[in-house]
A and B are shown apart, each in its own frame.
Chain A
Amino acid sequence: MPLDPSFAGRTYPPTEPYLVGREKIREFAAAIGAADGPFVDAEAAKALGYPDVIAPPTFAMAVASSASQRVFDDPELGLDFSRVVHGDQRFAYQRPIRAGDRLVTTCTIEEIMSRAGHDFLTTRADVTTEDGEAVLSAWSRLVVRAADHGDGA
């Protein structure tokens, strides 16, 4: 069943604060092969003008994912995650995420469209500090592939 386009514009409740720790940043940086410089060394971060170690740009996804999960798990939306492919990803940054941040994410469904049997779902996650300072926004476009027909898959 195609996704209901009337869900576009729906905003989900904000997440509990995500406390960004130095060691989580180090772990993520190591996983992408970049455990050096301002990701792990506070002095290197300060030399670039940041108050503490900063996170790699795509770490934003790890922070925002719990908010997106609320959309994906919404039983009313009825997304079949086994057929989902990540189509596009875009970030707009006010500043890098850094250790010590307490981040709150609010997720909104921006667009739902269907084409050739596939559904396209675009979500926007707005990440702010607990005090309301905007940090970044993340747009994810998911492609829900058409259900297979008659091949038993």
Chain B
Amino acid sequence: MGPDVRPGQQLEPRTYRVTRADLVRYAGASGDFNPIHWSDRVATGVGLPGVIAHGMYTMALGSRAVASWVGDPGAFVEYGVRFTRPVVVPDDDAGAEVVVAGAVRSIEDGLAQIDLTVTAEGEKVLAQARATVRLPAAPA
């Protein structure tokens, strides 16, 4: 995403794979050891279809997509999401697939607002997902 970015521009979707091993790793790195993210017994016991990804993991995947479009993961000014549907991660090698698409909503004062559409199995898992990022300065 260069200085020629314009409102309405669609950003190339990014696809990420999430496995149980990723969730275990994320639990350790983030300190969120809620067992619904690693134990089928506990997850189904509270009415979930199975182990689900941390909402913050899905949010992190959204940030990866934005960083890849903008070219600077430190360019975030704001980033917010609503968690609407869990990402169920089966206990197999394939795991789950999360797709992050984006569109430029507005550009003002060197800041771009990007609307994110984040889906798993074709269903939206986040709502009101939006990032505001500082755009790189145009070359002089």
Contacts and interface: CB of A to CB of B under 8 A. Distances in A.
B94 interface: no
* Contact size range, A: 20 to 34
Interface in B58-72: 59-61, 63-64, 67, 72
Interface string B82-125: 11000000000000000000000000000000000000000000
Given A56-B60, A58-B63, A30 B29 contact: yes
A37 B60 contact: no
Interface residues of B, number: 30
Q: Which of A33, A38, A62, A95 has the most CB of B within 10 A?
A: A33
B83 A61 contact: no
A88 B74 contact: no
A62 B32 CA distance: 8
B82 A87 contact: yes
Nearest to A136: B76
Contacts of A38: 72-74
